[in-house]
Structure 1
Amino acid sequence: MAAYVIFIRERTVDPEALRLYSEQAPAGLAGHPVTPLALYGKHEAIEGPEAEGAAILRFPSFEEAKRWYYGPAYQEAVRHRLKGGIYRGIIVEGIASEGSGE
């Protein structure tokens, strides 16, 4: 069953750290079955506090999402993101679609 990684950037605190993250993060995706669905595009807060942006990544399973996030390549990059901004990040399992057999 698909899983989704969702990052919400609440506030930037170090633009240079986020620049380093944006340079290193793509290498962390290499070899992982990930589909970016949204990457900090146009958005509107309809509930809760405003956010600077959000990213949504789809993985084939919850385990694949965790394997990517906790893998050494992404962990090298994520330290810059965590230094560069205030974020919320979650992994959420999708729902089985009708007729999918999941």
Structure 2
Amino acid sequence: MSAYVVFTRMKTTDQEELEKYRTGIKATMKDRPIEVLVADGKHEILEGDPIEGMVIVKFPSVKAAKDWIDSEAYQDIARRRKHGAIYHGLIAEGVS
């Protein structure tokens, strides 16, 4: 069953760190079954607090998503994201 990783950027705290994250993230996706569906495009808040942006990434399974998130390559670059902005992140299982 497919799974989706969703990150919402609440507030940028260090643009330089965030740019380093954006530059390095693609290398962590190489040779993995990842499909980027949304990447900081236009959005409209329907309910809740405003956000600056969001990313939605599709994986073939929750395990594949967690394998990527837990990988050394992703964890190494994720520190840039954590220093660059305040995010909320989640994994959601798709429907069958």
The alignment's TM-score, normalised by the length of structure 2, stands at 0.98
Deviation at 1:88, TM superposition (A): 0.3
Match for residue 88 of structure 2?
88
CA separation in 2, counterparts of 1:74 and 1:30?
11
CA separation in 2, counterparts of 1:38 and 1:56?
5
Deviation at 1:93, TM superposition (A): 0.4
Residues matched between the structures, number: 96
The percentage of aligned residue pairs carrying the same residue is 43
Is 1:70 the counterpart of 2:70? The answer is yes
Is 1:34 the counterpart of 2:34? The answer is yes
CA separation in 2, counterparts of 1:93 and 1:52?
24
Match for residue 61 of structure 1?
61
Q: Which sections of structure 1, spanning at least 5 residues, go unmatched?
A: 97-102
Q: Which amino acid aligns with 2:63?
A: E
The alignment's TM-score, normalised by the length of structure 1, stands at 0.92
Q: Which sections of structure 2, spanning at least 5 residues, go unmatched?
A: none
Q: Which amino acid aligns with 2:27?
A: A
Secondary structure of 2:26 counterpart: helix
Query: What RMSD, in angstroms, separates the aligned Cα atoms of the two structures?
Result: 0.5
CA separation in 1, counterparts of 2:2 and 2:61?
5
CA separation in 2, counterparts of 1:53 and 1:22?
13
Considering only CA atoms, is the larger Rg found in Structure 1 or Structure 2?
A: 1
CA separation in 2, counterparts of 1:38 and 1:79?
21
Stretches of 4+ aligned residues off by more than 4 angstroms: none
CA separation in 2, counterparts of 1:32 and 1:61?
12
Deviation at 1:23, TM superposition (A): 1.1
Is 1:25 the counterpart of 2:25? The answer is yes
Match for residue 15 of structure 2?
15
